[in-house]
């Protein structure tokens, strides 16, 4: 059975978003949610990230914390901190393409490092009480870099390896390297999850028929744009665009009223809620989408959302 995963997206998939997504769309089938990456700052996890991970909004969902690290020390320190908070499962980020992270040796910069490959394999072996999964790209600069990392990963047991088949230099656009992805599936001992550019139920079908050996599908921007996507595929019933918008507006209303209750001041609320629509231009239409982007206060924001018909 195909497993489904909601990709972590900084600035979007925080505890509140995950909670209301789960409430509105997440029941059938089970979706695994991930925290955006957690990293060390002055030897500690940022308070914001701790709050997100331990929020009561996470209850009742499958949530996996994700960590990003540049060396063995950071990796082991983060695993230790998460273990002390009671985590049983950890996702290792070896794919982040943000120059701020790769420039410091984290994320996709770890793929071509045998030292990091070894460190990850040792961390997995040394923590048998934790289930590990991993998220990676094919490489930082070259789509064959994964060949350096994979032998280390093949030595240990991982729940799965999610692969976004781009190199970090491409960021989030450009062609997917599907030949290399196919080669990676053939060489991985651990289950492989596909991640990249899935926007419609038809895209899910296409990937499953092209890569029948994958164990699951992870979706990021496509789910932010169309939160019902997995539900639609699973039920075998595509919703009409008007139904999708109606459902999305209900989801939005709940999230906004939660922000109204928990955040302080108009500018904080508006800066938290606007990203809700960032990837939904095709779903809600260019006019409403642009008006939402431009809205400088709550009154204008409400008028812009009212343009979604
Ligand atoms: C703004 C932004 C923030 C992201 N933050 C994270 C993150 O914290 N951890 C991570 O593993 N991936 C992160 N990603 C990558 C996504 O999880 C996903 O791999 C990528 O968007 C490709 O999948 P998609 O085409 O389904 O969106 C981020 C992507 C974007 C666009």
Question: Which atom, in ligand 1's list, is nearest to the CA of 35?
Answer: 8
Measured by CA distance, the residue closest to atom 4 of ligand 1 is 9
Select from 6, 8, 48, 63 the residue to mutate for testing ligand 1; criterion: most ligand atoms less than 8 Å from CB. 8
Instruction: Inform me whether the pLDDT recorded for 28 exceeds 70.
Output: no
State which of 5, 6, 7 you would mutate to test the pocket of ligand 1, scoring each by most atoms of that ligand within 8 A of its C-beta.
7
Share of the chain above pLDDT 90, in %: 98
Distance from the alpha carbon of residue 70 to the mean position of ligand 1, in angstroms: 19
DSSP state for residue 246 in the 8-state scheme: H
pLDDT the model gives residue 25: 95
Domain regions of the chain by residue span: 3-235, 241-306
Q: What pLDDT shows up at residue 26?
A: 79
CATH topology of domain 3-235: TIM Barrel (3.20.20)
Cα separation, 219 vs 58, whole angstroms: 19
Average pLDDT, the chain: 97
pLDDT recorded at residue 29: 66
What are 145-157's pLDDT values in tens digits?
A: 999 999 999 999 9
Pocket test for ligand 1, best of 98, 220, 227, 282 (most atoms within 8 A of CB): 220
The residues, any chain, with a CB within 8 Å of residue 8's CB and separated by 6 or more, are 34, 35, 36, 37, 66, 91, 220
Beta bridge partners of 216: 3, 193
Give the DSSP H or E segment for 100. helix 99-102
CA atoms within 13 A on the CB side of 99: 2
């Amino acid at each position: 059975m195909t497993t489904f995963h909601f990709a972590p997206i900084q600035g979007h998939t925080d505890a509140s978003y995950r909670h209301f997504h789960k409430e509105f769309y997440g029941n059938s089938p089970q979706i695994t949610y991930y925290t955006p990456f957690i990293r060390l700052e002055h030897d500690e996890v940022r308070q914001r990230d701790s709050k997100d991970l331990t929020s009561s909004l996470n209850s009742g969902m499958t949530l996996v914390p994700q960590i990003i690290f540049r060396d063995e020390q950071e990796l082991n320190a983060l695993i230790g901190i998460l273990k002390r908070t009671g985590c049983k499962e950890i996702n290792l980020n070896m794919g982040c393409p943000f120059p701020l992270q790769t420039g410091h040796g984290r994320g996709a910069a770890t793929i071509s490092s045998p030292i990091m490959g070894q460190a990850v394999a040792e961390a997995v072996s040394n923590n048998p009480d934790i289930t590990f999964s991993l998220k990676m790209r094919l490489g930082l600069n070259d789509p064959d870099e994964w060949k350096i990392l994979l032998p280390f990963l093949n030595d240990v047991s991982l729940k799965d390896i999610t692969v976004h088949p781009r190199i970090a230099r491409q960021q989030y656009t450009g062609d997917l390297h599907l030949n290399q992805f196919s080669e990676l599936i053939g060489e991985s001992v651990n289950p492989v999850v596909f991640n990249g550019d899935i926007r419609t139920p038809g895209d899910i079908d296409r990937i499953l028929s092209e890569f029948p050996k994958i164990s699951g599908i992870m979706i990021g921007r496509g789910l932010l744009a169309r939160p019902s996507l997995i539900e639609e595929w699973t039920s075998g019933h595509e919703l009409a665009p008007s139904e999708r918008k109606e459902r999305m507006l209900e989801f939005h209303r709940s999230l906004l009223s939660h922000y109204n209750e928990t955040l302080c001041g108009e500018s904080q609320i508006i800066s938290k809620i606007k990203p809700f629509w960032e990837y939904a231009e095709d779903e809600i239409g260019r006019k409403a989408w642009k008006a939402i982007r431009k809205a400088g206060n709550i009154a204008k924001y409400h008028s812009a959302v009212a343009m979604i018909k």
